[in-house]
Structure 1
Amino acid sequence: MGRREFLRATGKIAGLTLGLTLLGSLKGIPVDASPKFKSYPFTLGVASGDPSPDGAVLWTRLAPDPLNGGGMPFHNVPVQWEVALDEGFRHVVQRGTEFARAELAHSVHVEVNGLRPDTWYYYRFKAGAEISPTGRTKTLPAVEAPLARLTFAFASCQQYEHGYFTAYRRMAEEDLDVVFHLGDYIYEYGANEYVADGGNVRTHQGNEIMTLEDYRNRYAQYKTDADLREAHAAFPWIVTWDDHEVENNYAGPIPEKGQSPEAFMKRRIAAYQAYYEHMPLRRSSLPQGVVMQLYRRFAYGNLAEFHVLDTRQYRDDQANGDGSKPPSPESLNPQRTLLGTEQEKWLLDGLTRSGARWNVLAQQVFFCQRDYTEGPGQKLSMDAWDGYPANRDRLVNFMAEHAGRNFVVLTGDVHANWAAEIKKDFNDSNSATLGVEIVGTSITSGGDGSDVRADTERILQENPHIKFFNNHRGYVRCTVTPEKWQTDYRVLPYVSRKGAPVVTRASFVTESGKPGLILVGEQPVATTHSLTLV
């Protein structure tokens, strides 16, 4: 179907849909059925996510003036969409109309169903006379279907000022089934408040973001990056957040600095709404006041089940004033929680019922113990699972009781690549290995990076369960079969300039039924930049 045919067909659907829509469902906001835009409205691209065996969420946002509130009048606008089996849209399988709602920044979230499992589809949108770029998405396999192979990438931490999003351009060139984003999609800082060691190469618009309009403009600034839009259009994404989507190191209702509880909760409400507006999430994740439901699970047939966690919204405040500190009675309090009671129960219930070959936690902060102190004593991150060891112990004990479930933890947050083995007792290198943790570096945060840091050797010696470290930017690619899980650390030599190549710095294999990491390949990275400071 060509552009003219698409305009004709979707115009007919729009008329039918508008005739059937109840005004009450649009909250009395005027509907502009024939919008005319001062410039192209699909400036933020398209995306898909939260796939199911029969569908996915299709996303876009109308924003002809993206960095200034979007540039749309306060009207609801009908947006037509269609899904096809081919990029040329000759074999359209579904089409319909959804509203770009004024109260949600004219974002569009289409929950398509009725599609075939384990199938690639193409999609696009039309508003007025304008047509969006084309995106591609893939449904999940049928429930418990045998699956021979799954390939995915995961990423996190994309500070706009610290570098270019070339890693997403390279990711879009991969042959993947899905992408997981583990948080820090945006950063809240004002212009040049957070400076990379090599200096910033781009600049945030405005001061530190606080209001709903601030957060909307910051997401828009990030999404105007063509490389990020390319990766969104290439694959379905499954997203979760960390702290910078609101504020650095916030803990539940507690801000990091300088805000009253009332002011911070207003800020959190604004941040949560803007996150929903800009992510391909289902209506079940629409914020309800100060709460947003984000933990959920996705099963890839009988091969892998992913439990996507929220380690930020429900946690207790960091112990010992946050930072890297020795353990204390406060941090060791058995009542302390990172997940919250309900989410922890949901996770353990799901892991208990899972019949998948691989059981995966897609989450944010370092899971394994990471001691920074050389010799006796310990210094641990109070913001990571090390600051909530009782919560981690409950999960580790579960892993020990269910040996053979092939546990894998995916992690972001720390702006470096790590590979670690999950031990029954992290202080005893001879204790049982229960699973593996794969920690991915940042897309840009921290700037160009390096192969090692000044503290690398010390940390690896103090933590023998940690098998690998690298400090370049990039993403992680994982290939999963019933027999093995292969992890490829895909890194870029620099992000301070555009167009960097990508190489596999190291590859590890974990065999089914044999928890642990086997190094199967390493490649040094040529770079003209170095970073020697922690």
Structure 2
Amino acid sequence: MAFGLTSPAQPSHEILTLSDYRTRHAQYKQDADLRQLHLRYPFITIWDDHESADNSYHDGAANHTEGVEGKWVDRKAYSQQAYDEWMPIRLPEPGNRNRIFRTLKFGQTAEWILLDTRLYDHDVQAATPVNPLDPSTANADRHMIGDEQRAFLINNMRQSTSQWKLIGNQVVFHQWIIKPFDFPAHTSSMSRCLNGATVCCASVRTRPPASTGPSVPFWNGAALNTCLPLSMY
């Protein structure tokens, strides 16, 4: 089964090729409710890891085995091409499907600042569930976005003249407090969260404040109280 589908997934195997990704997108678009939704409302979209492979990042994915499942660079390109064909957006660099971070301005009321915190320059995530004793959890060299996107974000936050700056991204931009927990190995991540384990998923932003990069200190010091992150996680 594919996420959200009530019928067997098409294709039935893990999607790896351009044809596979096209077929899965086509199946989703057969859903009557989704078709009505597209008919009635415009969409502002950014992809998440589910459009390529689970917990994907710039150089790979948790659910990708290099060689056995082909080359990640090819698989990522296939997923991006199929997404562009079925969920077209106005690319900021025409022809460059790899770059989807962009801005959309709605007069003086609001400006969307859309990021790619998955495929463009996101480093590998920590393990899931997060282990607070694992040095990689607090490694200041890991980044959710690189220098180019960080500059893009900060510059647009600073220069926007709209009342509301809405930041759309895929990964929760939020400092989580890690508490130790001891659950059976088969317990789901959601159950662990509901039962008091504060951090269960490595996709959530978990690095300490000192290593979150220049964007957070800038945000705290710029009195940008009309800036609102909206994460799809």
TM-score, with length taken from structure 1: 0.37
Q: Is 1:202 aligned to 2:7, yes or no?
A: yes
Alignment match, 1:267: 75
CA distance in structure 2 between the partners assigned to 1:268 and 1:287 by the alignment: 16
Q: Is 1:317 aligned to 2:137, yes or no?
A: no
SS in 2 for 1:307: strand
What is the one-letter code of the residue matched to 2:203?
D
- Out of 29, 44, 62, which is 1:256 matched to? 62
Q: Deviations over 1:321-366 (max 9, x none)?
A: 3432216442323332111111111111111111221111111122
Alignment match, 1:381: 201
CA distance in structure 2 between the partners assigned to 1:217 and 1:400 by the alignment: 45
Please report how far the alpha carbon of residue 393 of structure 1 lies from its aligned counterpart in structure 2 after TM superposition: 5.4
After TM superposition, list the pairs within 5 Å mapping 1:451-530 onto structure 2. Answer: none
Alignment match, 1:399: 219
- Out of 21, 25, 28, which is 1:215 matched to? 21
1:362·1:410 contact (CA, 8 Å) conserved in 2?
yes
Please report how far the alpha carbon of residue 260 of structure 1 lies from its aligned counterpart in structure 2 after TM superposition: 1.5
Greater share of strand residues, 1 or 2? 1
Alignment match, 2:186: none
Give unpaired runs (5+ residues) of structure 1. 1-157, 162-200, 414-534
What is the one-letter code of the residue matched to 2:23?
N
Higher radius of gyration, 1 or 2? 1
Alignment match, 1:281: 89
- Out of 164, 171, 184, which is 1:365 matched to? 171
Please report how far the alpha carbon of residue 293 of structure 1 lies from its aligned counterpart in structure 2 after TM superposition: 1.0
Alignment match, 2:184: none
1:327·1:379 contact (CA, 8 Å) conserved in 2?
no
What is the one-letter code of the residue matched to 1:357?
Q
Greater share of helix residues, 1 or 2? 2
Alignment match, 1:344: 150
Alignment match, 1:160: 4
Give unpaired runs (5+ residues) of structure 2. 182-196
Q: Which has the higher contact order (CA 8 A, sep 6+)?
A: 2
Residues matched between the structures, number: 213
Alignment match, 1:243: 49
What is the one-letter code of the residue matched to 2:28?
Y
TM-score, with length taken from structure 2: 0.80
Q: Deviations over 1:70-111 (max 9, x none)?
A: xxxxxxxxxxxxxxxxxxxxxxxxxxxxxxxxxxxxxxxxxx
Alignment match, 1:307: 113
SS in 2 for 1:409: strand
Give the fraction of aligned pairs with identical amino acids, expressed as a percent: 31
Q: Deviations over 1:475-517 (max 9, x none)?
A: xxxxxxxxxxxxxxxxxxxxxxxxxxxxxxxxxxxxxxxxxxx
Alignment match, 1:332: 138
